[in-house]
Amino acid sequence: MTYFQCSPGGSLTGDFRVPGDKSISHRSIILSSIAEGDSRISGFLEGEDSLNTLKAFQAMGVSIERNAHQIVVHGVGLNGLKAPTAPLEMGNSGTAMRLLLGLLAGQSFDSVMTGDESLSSRPMNRVINPLQKMGAEIQSQPCGTAPLSVKGNRRLQAIEYDLPMASAQVKSCILLAGLYADGETVVREPSPTRDHSERMLRGFGCEVRSDGAEIRINGRQELNATDIEIPADISSAAFFMVAASIATKSEIKLLHVGVNPTRTGAIDILRLMGADVILSNQKEVGGEPVADITVRSARLKGIVIPEELVPLAIDEFPVLFIAAACAQGETVLSGAEELRVKESDRIQVMVDGLTTLGIRAIATDDGICIQGGVIRGGEVESHGDHRIAMAFSVASLCARGDIKINNCANVNTSFPGFVQLASAAGLGVTAYE
């Protein structure tokens, strides 16, 4: 078992770039594979999650070349995928499993997807149900968990679907299935979620219409190859944004970070808490807005987090809870029930860890209440959740003693090289086997 040993204190300085965006990396492989022609991808996240997506398409007959600078995907077209000879292994990635399920539902062949122990415990009914309404035939384990078996040669029909809960993964799954459906598929979301799928589909020449909360896509559209430049992942950058905010005498610049407006909730929340966060060098690259982000030390205050920001920061909450633990006063989050079905129950796991470290934290059904205070040293469990492990590493900057974090191997799923980059920036974190 890999664990992190984190020494207390430290300051952050320097300019650096975190790895490529995981959400965009997944989608770049998926859409390049079903496009006509060769697509070139730069900035791809070489983490286990996105590499499992890449391997899945290789297993379905897509030729993919990798070198130090880019990935070249030789697309096979909308109907060119071949039956895999073994179950597709998704590892720890709920994004990969949910998005691929939509695509596999429209194929001519049978397929099976599986994952690790964590992924195999996560509910998939929220994507299975709308796909079944489209005519897909999918079998799961009890409670809608993996392995998932998908029957081929099912003619899908377009549907109009109102998402019961804001989720970019569910939305994207339905849109991908909509590519293989007869008619126009319509998805309505209760609040905005990340729109990488819509942006990238348009980049491949697919017509996707967005009107407020409604997204429409016609089936049987051909995708044409394109080149993709993937920006640095704002979810990975968020660990350093919080770190520089809570550590004394810190100033960092995070380079070429994706600042898609459906992903900047963490910046908005930190600013509401009093953080000193400045965006510069703003531009658009490959249809995605990017910027350099400068963060300086600041005195944070507790807030009631606006519910409209919750889906825009859903992956960043573990480290935002560390910011709350270091802030003056109480921070209250509600409307975030999705956190309970991530790689871990992120509400309860963070409450348990914060409590161990001496912070008063109370879980609610859909959120958390955190009273800022003094972080002690101690031993916490990440439960194999990469974002939990990295969040408690950041907590060490304000801790009174060493923090040991157990079960950290899955950090490589989203942030390969985290320990090395964090150490170079000023965190006292070391990984041990």
Q: Which pLDDT belongs to residue 319?
A: 98
Residue 378, Ramachandran bin (φ over 0: left; ψ between -120 and 50: alpha; else beta) = left
pLDDT digits (tens, 9 = 90+) for 36-65: 999 999 999 999 999 999 999 999 999 999
Q: Which pLDDT belongs to residue 1?
A: 84
| Averaged confidence pLDDT in the chain | 96
Residues forming beta bridges with residue 335, ordered by sequence position: none
Average of pLDDT values for 69-75?
A: 95
Opening angle at CA 413, ends 256 and 144, nearest 5: 120
Which residue's structure tokens are 């801790």? 399
Q: Which pLDDT belongs to residue 211?
A: 92
For 150, phi then psi, to 5°, come to -115, 125
Predicted TM-score (pTM) of this structure: 0.93
Sorting pLDDT into bands at 50, 70 and 90, what band is 413? Answer: confident
Which residue's structure tokens are 């950290």? 408
How far is residue 317's CA from residue 433's CA, in Å, rounded to a whole number?
27
Opening angle at CA 426, ends 425 and 428, nearest 5: 130
Burial-class residue 283 by CB neighbours within 10 Å (0-12, 13-18, 19+): exposed
Q: Where do the domains of the chain lie, and which CATH numbers do they carry?
A: 3-20+231-432 (3.65.10.10), 22-229 (3.65.10.10)
Q: Does 318 have pLDDT greater than 90?
A: yes
pLDDT digits (tens, 9 = 90+) for 252-282: 999 999 999 999 999 999 999 999 999 999 9
Sorting pLDDT into bands at 50, 70 and 90, what band is 287? Answer: confident
Q: Does 141 have pLDDT greater than 90?
A: yes
Catalytic residue among 233, 292, 315, 385: 315
3-class secondary structure, 391: helix
pLDDT digits (tens, 9 = 90+) for 153-185: 999 999 999 999 989 999 999 999 999 999 999
Q: Which pLDDT belongs to residue 2?
A: 95
Preceding omega of 306 cis (within 30 degrees of 0) = no
315 is catalytic: yes
Q: Which pLDDT belongs to residue 270?
A: 98
Strands 251-258 and 13-16: parallel
Sorting pLDDT into bands at 50, 70 and 90, what band is 67? Answer: confident
Query: In terms of Cα–Cα distance, which of 17, 13, 69, 31 is closest to 258?
Result: 17
> Cβ distance 231 to 20 under 8 Å?
yes
Q: Which pLDDT belongs to residue 69?
A: 84
Q: Which pLDDT belongs to residue 232?
A: 97
Which residue's structure tokens are 């909360």? 213
Which H helix or E strand runs over 366? none
Sorting pLDDT into bands at 50, 70 and 90, what band is 72? Answer: very high
How far is residue 96's CA from residue 249's CA, in Å, rounded to a whole number?
40
Name every residue whose Cβ is closer than 8 Å to that of residue 51 and which is 6 or more positions away in sequence.
none
Name the amino acid, one letter, at 271.
Answer: R
Query: In terms of Cα–Cα distance, which of 225, 176, 228 is closest to 77?
Result: 225
Q: Which pLDDT belongs to residue 367?
A: 98
